[in-house]
Amino acid sequence: MEFDVNRFTGASFKRREEDVPVPDLRDWFKGVKEGEAPTWRVRGLSGAELASVNEAQARNRNRNAIAEGLLSQKDAKVTDAVRELIGAGDSVPDDLARRIEMLVMGSVKPECSHQLAVKLAEAFPIEFWELTTKITQLTGLGSEPGKPKRSSGSPISKSPSNSAT
């Protein structure tokens, strides 16, 4: 079996998307009808986005190391306050930092800021976890091949005329 490189590189791809029901967030969705579950639309990530998500974990660790170095000689209360201020406290585990970045990048509708992702993780951790798990699953499935591009609609060229004029 041979991989068709030309066909693959010539194909267009679209990231997978899916609606995730978030019934417990109903109060914050406008226009949801009675008996209807609100949904949060997420998508799989590209390779570059996934790398950025994984770097969020390293950035989180770096902030912790910087805080340790700066505050090694300071009072414990001051140290804890500064850690929380720069987002490097014990309340931000690596996996949480990674998932916050993932939700920001993988949310389609509603769009999600870092502030919203942090608040969601804090107030509705199960929904936050379900959304980021779905983004991980969609990313793992890869992109879907898109529909082939349509031609410009111009007529097919005819062979050149045989006449001498």
- The full set of domain ranges for the chain reads 42-141
Is the separation of the CB atoms in 101 and 56 below 8 Å?
Answer: yes
Region for residue 120 given its phi and psi (left: phi exceeds 0; alpha: psi -120 to 50; beta: otherwise): alpha
The answer on pLDDT for 38 being more than 80 is yes
The answer on pLDDT for 22 being more than 70 is yes
Give the least confident one: 20-29, 118-127, 139-148, 156-165. 156-165
Which tens digit of pLDDT belongs to each residue from 52-93?
Answer: 988 887 776 665 555 555 555 556 665 565 555 555 445 578
Residue 162's pLDDT is 62
Residue 88's pLDDT is 46
Which tens digit of pLDDT belongs to each residue from 151-160?
Answer: 455 555 555 5
Residue 164's pLDDT is 59
Which tens digit of pLDDT belongs to each residue from 98-143?
Answer: 999 999 999 999 999 999 999 999 999 999 999 999 999 999 999 9
Where do the DSSP E strands lie in the chain? 13-14, 17-21, 39-43, 107-109, 144-145
Residue 163's pLDDT is 56
Residue 146's pLDDT is 79
Residue 54's pLDDT is 86
Once rounded to an integer, what is the mean pLDDT over residues 1-15? 92
Please, which contacts does 149-156 make with residues 24 or more away whose CB atoms are closer than 8 Å? 149/12
Backbone phi and psi for residue 40, each to the nearest 5 degrees, phi listed first: -115, 120
